[in-house]
Structure 1
Amino acid sequence: MAKRIPKPAGSDLPDREQVLAFIASAGEKVGKREIAKAFNLKGAARIGLKALLKEIEAEGAVTRGRGGLSKAGRLPAVVLADLRSRDRDGEFLAVPVEWDAAHGKPPVILVSPPRRGGRNSRQPAPGIGDRALIRVEPDGERDDRYTGRVIKVIGKNRSEVIGVFRAGAQGGRILPVEKRAQGREILIPPGEEGEARDGDLVSVALERETRFGLPRGRVRERLGSLGSEKAVSLIALHLHNLPHVFAAPTLAEADAVKPATLKGREDWRTAPLLTIDPPDAKDHDDAVMAEADPDEANPGGFIVTVAIADVAAYVRPGSALDREALERGNSVYFPDRVVPMLPERISNDLCSLREGEDRPALAVRMVVGADGVKRRHSFHRVMMRSRAKLAYAQAQAAIDGRPDDKTGPLLEPVLRPLWAAYAALTKAREARGPLALDLPERKVILGPDGAVDRVIVPERLDAHRLIEEFMIQANVAAAETLEAARQALIYRVHDEPALEKMRALGEVLASVGIKLPREGALRPALFNRILASVAGSEHAVFINEVVLRSQAQAVYAAENLGHFGLNLRRYAHFTSPIRRYADLIVHRALITACRLGSDGLSPDVSVAELNQIGEQISGAERRAMAAERETVDRLIAHHLADQVGATFSGQISGVTRSGLFIKLDETGADGFVPVSTLGAEYFRHEEGRHALVGERSGESFRLGDRVEVRLVEAAAVAGALRFELLSEGRPRSGARPAAGGRRGSSRPPAGKAAPPSPDGARHRGSRRPKGR
């Protein structure tokens, strides 16, 4: 509230200096009303004040902005600003949107995020490139610097573009990295290049576009060099505002952490726990073991143990490590690098369950019957020592009769009991009937120079399935324990498909002769029957894709909706706290619920606050998935750039009014065929049939059709491929044309690609968290 200021003697109006002093010192929005109230002005005096303010403003002593009046060269109490970058401590640096250049360079605002739990806490977290409403205060030490707090994120700053700088004789040009901006170069006039060099990834501020010529801009920030394919993930890091440099306080806190001791823990260091991971894994957050249950009341049963790295012992609520882990939400995996959720001191050292080294863990011991149904379980805080570090293929080879020097001694006492327990759990899984999608996932393999060497579909082994099933059971046990204790938690929820998506699925299935039942409760078994009916047919990959598209997206929430895909009533992520913040919350909740220490979840935490965290980390997960997918697209486009003119086999993976999306068999790359290149006639988009249909001939191209295409253009920076369709479409009757029929080409038919792998690979990339 503005303080009352006495009027100058002998006048009804304050003088010029008093008004300027008040405007400069006010901490709230300042306008005529606030000034009049402060000086107790009424009636005619207010008219005189209005004239005085106009005079002062005309002189340039004050400026009028969105927050009211402010002293010239100073920011008002509330300002609209763009978040440009971060400082060494990870805090946002912003500049005001409106600033008079006559007062020199715009001041810098050191910005803190919105207060958690406040009325604006449900809004999206701010990121670099966003435009936000910020409450500011002078720094106190420097006139050109302010501190501030985000009140509200207004939206993405559309005047900023990320692109690759190409130097010219005078100035240069920018090639935007977003697909939608392809072919739209930006001119950088001489003197506006900043520190950019040819090939650099840069942030560009667009000037107002003119009707003719290229849009113009200036280089705002040099983000890094794209001199090699290995640096292509830089684009995704900056385009998606992925935090990838740990703040100084976070690193200092990680360096100061001391290893956990045996105090308050059970000593499990002689237990035959071991890790099974990809051969290139640097951190190991889960270890497993199994043994026959000696209880006569459980004949043929097992005791299955899953031990998970005790991240909660090192990352305490409210600490710098905790704040930055929440902001990141999860680790992000690119073919050439990993952006971890936690510093390496924590993720790759203190928390990694290294072979032969003492490590703290939170373990669940589950008693399983011969039918694979869990009978009971218990959680323990332990100190363990991994017996061995094995790779998936190495463990599988031992079970298949090819043990090596390391797995040989472990085969009978450790590995065979694991596989026997997995066989029992498989019975319960089959009885439960989770969604069984058969969608092989491709992996990009880089060579020593960072270039794409090949794209493979990793073999799906029982070793992968074993670890995944063990992790799922541990996740279920965590949710059950917390529910029984009435302890708030974050669930991993997966709702059933929406009605409109089921209608769309029914239309697609009808196009291939499959009828979707109109009545009855939705169950994964319904989709599994559909998938089984097309297994091995030409429609198998297509139907798996459309079934996947019909599913809701899994998210994190404090309210339990169950997990439709896994057909589980309650499910929480517990098994990857090194790489997922949700798991860390569940660990803390278990520590509190099971009375395993004083470093658990605060009893004061509310469901609303957990829902806020769930929304934030769900958004971070979507951000990571988009960044990973786009990086793979760019790498493959770079890999195919020297194969322009070559022909490929693929499948129509999307149909729009503008054209067809094609997924190539060999690499899984996606490209586009513009509708204008399909033929001489007009093609109509029939949304219900997921097809483009020629109005004159009736020839159609439908989602899932197998086609041959020629690569016309590969835009590596954007990850965009453009194809020319060589195959003929379906004639009006709907039958497929004879094999080898193609449009506008005298080339022989390209060899058919190998059929999709039937391994049902839903186990994600080599180092991803286990358990869906």
Structure 2
Amino acid sequence: MPRRDIRVTEDEERAPLRKALRELRERTHAPSAFPTAAQAEAERAARRRPRLPAYDATGLPLFTLDPPGVRELGRALHLTRRPGGGYRVHYAVADIAAFVTPGGALDAEAHRRAVTVHYPDTRVPLLPLVLCEDAASLLPDHDRPALLWELDLAADGSVVRADLRRALVRSHARLDHAGAQRAIDTGTAEEPLVLLREAGLLRRELERALGGVSLNAPVQEVVRRDDRYLLEYRTPPPTQEWSARLALMTGTAAAGLMLASGTGVLRTLPSLPGDGPLATLRHTARALGVNWPDTLPYPAMLRALAPSHPQHAAFLQRCTGLLHRAGYTVFDRERPTRRPRPADPVHAAVAAPYAHCTAPLRRLADRYALELCLAAASGAEAPEWVRSALDGLPGEMAAGAARAEEAERGCAALVEAAVLRDRIGEIFDAHVVDVVPSRPTAGTVHLRDPAVRGHIEGDGDGPPLPLGHRMRVRLIEAAPGRAEIWFAPA
């Protein structure tokens, strides 16, 4: 699911916002450490030599593409041209099943967590760091067990063949997005990066033709200057979008394999957001000064935005919450009554069947999807430990997603309260983006600068809030970690 990416730039541990974020994790009972048995199991798995695949692909010049300093490297790739036209993409994914024993203490804890939960200053990982940042990570110049996709693309970027096998791989280069983008822009990039751009742009056009929706949301940074917090936005380099499109492409290939085999776990979204959520988003666009003509559909609207524009960036951040309705659907040809094949397996935002299968270091479901794809690609039966876990997987992933969404909402509220904490009593121009149906004098307002929103409560006997229109409001409450943002009519 799309995630609102917020970063805190202050380094001091005692800084007010960092302190409030720590308190948020305590209030929401975010796990701070792994159970002793699970941590010990992870350390034993990291020390011993994992099960190594027979297929040696260490000569394939794979590279990773991640932010600088990140040690959790779960994916590596390589691209070449195919004779006669098109591309061949090798996409290696860390093999967590080589380290985690089904039914063990570590496996149980992974099922309890389900996902890595991100905060602006840290993250609560799915797996112990000794695995996700070391033994299982695709660090450069280390041999690692992996699931290796081999995807053949036609000249228009469509996938014409997909294969998956276990392989021993080695990352030959660790690249970051900014450096890779500079090499492409200056003409010094090696062929795999040039092909990443070509394939990424082709995949963008295919999505547009199908009517899919992708969010190229910027990173929201909270900057502390002169003891005040400011919101700034950092536009990710195009390489980040192109690599994300290859991940989406791999997910659609995985869904195809599982649907053909009759057993799988899909990421599903029945439809794009309806009139209610879109109406609120239209009001938000008006509040931020973003032009959204009534006749322009939501997917086309997103493509028209420029993430480098501050108001467009703020609007794209708000859009990340619209696709949180996506879930997981499991099906099994051996148990068609309990796990029937979905009648409509298409993920509305992708405009195709889709599966999560490229981030097993951060999502539990990916480990199971990869095992099912591996069985489908080889014509073998899926392992029983995979099939037996399918019934509980959607619920576990939904619980993990709920925790991640709660953290995201809490972090956004903290950040926005921090920006306004020294401006109590000031009057702002705002737009009303939502009204409580049972209390028309209560709702939500959105400011343009700074791009924050908060609750508003008027006199119960006063006029109703002017939904979708501007009004003057006075800030009466903004205390990071203690109270949400509240306004009153000015």
User: Do they superpose with TM above 0.5?
Assistant: yes
Instruction: Give the match for residue 349 of structure 2.
Output: 565
Partner of 1:414: 192
Tell me if 1:720 matches 2:484: yes
1:480 aligned onto 2:252: no
**TM-score under structure 2 length normalisation:** 0.80
SS at match of 1:676: coil
**Aligned residue identity for 1:315:** V
1:303 aligns with 2:88: yes
Structure with larger RCO (C-alpha < 8 A, sep 6+)? 2
> Cα distance, 1:280 vs. partner?
4.0
From 624, 631, 646, give the equivalent of 2:404: 624
- Which of 316, 325, 329 pairs up with 1:553? 325
| 1:481–1:513 CA distance, 2 compared to 1 (3 A) | closer
Q: Distance in 1 between matches of 2:422 and 2:433?
A: 24
Aligned counterparts of 1:282 and 1:558: Cα–Cα separation in 2? 32
Pairwise CA distance, 1:651: 4.0
| Counterpart position of 1:320 | 105
One-letter amino acid of the structure 1 residue matched with residue 485 of structure 2: L
Offset of 1:682 from its aligned partner? 2.1
Name the structure 2 match of 1:490: 265
- Residue 277 of structure 1 and its aligned partner are, at CA, apart by 1.1
Q: Secondary structure at the match of 1:306?
A: strand
Tell me which of 416, 436, 445 is aligned to 1:662: 445
**Aligned counterpart for 1:575 among listed residues 358, 368, 373:** 358
Q: Distance in 2 between matches of 1:632 and 1:506?
A: 21
> Using the alignment, how far apart are the partners of 1:659 and 1:431 within structure 2?
42
Q: In angstroms, what is the RMSD of aligned CA positions?
A: 3.8
SS at structure 2 position matched to 1:671: strand
In 1, Cα distance between equivalents of 2:99 and 2:422: 49
Count matched residues.
453
Judge conservation of contact 2:219–2:235 (CA < 8 Å) in 1.
Answer: no
- Are the counterparts in 1 of residues 207 and 350 from structure 2 also a CA contact under 8 Å? no
What percentage of residue pairs aligned between the two structures are identical?
A: 25
Alpha carbons 1:585, 1:601 under 8 Å: kept: no
Give the C-alpha shift of residue 595 in structure 1: 5.1
- Structure 1, unpaired ranges of 5+: 1-224, 403-407, 517-524, 685-691, 693-700, 727-772
Cα distance, 1:412 vs structure 2: 2.3
Is 1:239 equivalent to 2:27 in the alignment? yes
Secondary structure, counterpart of 2:194 in structure 1:
helix
- For 1:290-311, what per-residue CA distance to the aligned partner results, in whole angstroms no more than 9, with x for missing partners? 11002x3xx2x01012111111
Question: Residue deviations 1:25-64, cap 9 Å, x none?
Answer: xxxxxxxxxxxxxxxxxxxxxxxxxxxxxxxxxxxxxxxx
Q: Secondary structure at the match of 1:702?
A: coil
Residue matched to 2:67: 278
Q: 1:285–1:708: structure 2 CA closer, same or farther, 3 Å change rule?
A: farther
Q: Contact 2:71–2:139 (CA<8 Å) still a contact in 1?
A: no
> Do the aligned residues in 2 keep the contact of 1:276 with 1:392 (CA within 8 Å)?
yes
Q: 1:610 aligns with which of 390, 400, 410?
A: 390
Residue 371 in structure 1 maps to residue 135 in structure 2: no
TM-superposed deviation, 1:659: 2.3
Counterpart AA for 2:177: Y
Closer, same or farther: CA 245–529 of 1 in aligned 2, 3 Å: closer
Q: Provide the C-alpha distance between the structure 1 equivalents of 2:199 and 2:34, rounded to a whole number of angstroms.
A: 41
Whose helix proportion is higher, 1 or 2?
Answer: 2
* Aligned-partner Cα distance in 2 for 1:723–1:260: 59
Q: Distance in 1 between matches of 2:282 and 2:442?
A: 22
Matching residue of 2:126:
341
CA distance in 2, matches of 1:584, 1:507: 36
TM-superposed CA distance for 1:495, in Å, is 1.0
- What letter is aligned with 1:245? A
Q: Which of residues 52, 56, 63 in structure 2 aligns to 1:267? A: 56
Amino acid at match of 2:31: P
2:176 to 359, 382, 391: 391
Give the TM-score normalised by the residue count of structure 1.
0.53
CA offset digits 1:588-647 (Å, max 9, x no partner): 32344445999x7417825xx524221121121122121132023224423532333445
The 1-side partners of 2:121 and 2:315 are apart by 32
The one of 226, 229, 247 equivalent to 2:17 is: 229
User: CA separation in 1, counterparts of 2:90 and 2:242?
Assistant: 13
Distance 1:552 1:459, change over 3 A: closer
Cα 1:437–1:349 change in 2 (3 A) is: closer
Aligned 8 A contact 2:159 2:253 in 1: no
Q: For the residues of structure 2 that align with 1:240 and 1:304, how far apart are their CA atoms?
A: 41
Q: How many Å separate the matches in 2 of 1:545 and 1:314?
A: 36
Counterpart Cα distance in 2 of 1:722 and 1:264: 58
Secondary structure of the corresponding residue to residue 400 of structure 1: helix
- Corresponding residue of 2:206: 428
Tell whether the 8 Å contact from 1:335 to 1:445 is kept in structure 2 after alignment: no
Amino acid paired to 1:602: E
> In the alignment, is the contact (CA less than 8 A) between 1:534 and 1:543 conserved in 2?
no
Distance 1:428 1:326, change over 3 A: same
What is the identity, as a one-letter code, of the residue corresponding to 1:554?
A: A
One-letter code aligned to 1:357: H
Aligned match of 1:212: none
Contact 1:330 1:579 (8 Å CA) reproduced: yes
SS at match of 2:445: strand
Alpha-carbon separation, structure 2, partners of 1:507 and 1:226 = 37
Change over 3 Å in CA distance of 1:226–1:415 after alignment to 2: closer
Q: 1:369 to 1:393 in 2, by over 3 A?
A: same
Question: For residues 723-738 of structure 1, what are the structure 2 equivalents within 5 Å?
Answer: 723-725=487-489
The aligned counterpart of 1:442 is 220
3-state SS of the aligned residue for 1:482? helix
Secondary structure class of the residue paired with 1:288? strand
Matching residue of 1:674: 457
**Change in CA separation of 1:343 and 1:668 when aligned onto 2, cut-off 3 Å:** farther
CA distance in 2, matches of 1:632, 1:550: 15
Q: 2:130 and 2:415 mapped to 1: Cα distance?
A: 30
Query: 2-side partners of 1:621 and 1:375: how far apart?
Result: 33
Q: CA deviation at 1:464?
A: 1.2
1:401 Cα offset (Å):
1.0
Find the aligned partners of 2:432 and 2:387 in 1 and give their Cα distance: 48
| 1:587–1:316 distance in 2 versus 1, CA, 3 Å | farther
Counterpart position of 1:254: 42
Do the aligned partners of 1:277 and 1:390 also contact (CA within 8 Å) in 2? yes
Give per-residue Cα distances to partners, 1:643-672, cap 9 Å, x unaligned.
Answer: 334455654332223424233445543322
Q: How far off its partner does 1:414 sit? A: 2.9
Q: Deviations over 1:123-161 (max 9, x none)?
A: xxxxxxxxxxxxxxxxxxxxxxxxxxxxxxxxxxxxxxx
Residue type of the partner of 1:624?
A: A
Aligned match of 1:164: none
2: distance between equivalents of 1:557 and 1:463?
31
Q: Once the two structures are superposed, what CA deviation does each residue of 1:459-507 show, in whole Å capped at 9, x if it has no partner? A: 0321111111000011111121222223x32211111158xx4478579
From the superposition, tell whether residues 544 and 422 of structure 1 become closer, same or farther in structure 2 (CA, over 3 Å): closer
Contact 2:314 2:451 in 1 (8 A): no
Post-superposition shift, 1:353?
1.1
Structure (1 or 2) with the larger CA radius of gyration = 1
Cα pair 1:359 1:384 within 8 Å, conserved: yes
Asked whether the 8 Å contact 2:50–2:99 carries over to 1, the reply is no
Contact 2:140/2:170 (<8 A) preserved = yes
> Partner residue of 2:236?
460
Q: Give the structure 2 partner of residue 528 of structure 1.
A: 299
Query: In structure 2, how many angstroms separate the alpha carbons of the residues matched to 1:227 and 1:531?
Result: 36
Q: Do the aligned partners of residues 508 and 455 (structure 1) sit closer, same or farther apart at CA in structure 2, a change above 3 Å counting?
A: closer
The correspondence of residues 77-92 of structure 1 with structure 2, limited to 5 A, is none
Conserved 8 A contact 2:233-2:313 = no
Instruction: Tell which deviates more after alignment, 475-484 or 414-423.
Output: 414-423
Q: Which residue of 2 aligns with 1:183?
A: none
Whole-Å separation in 2 of the counterparts to 1:446 and 1:589:
47
Aligned: 1:469 with 2:253: no
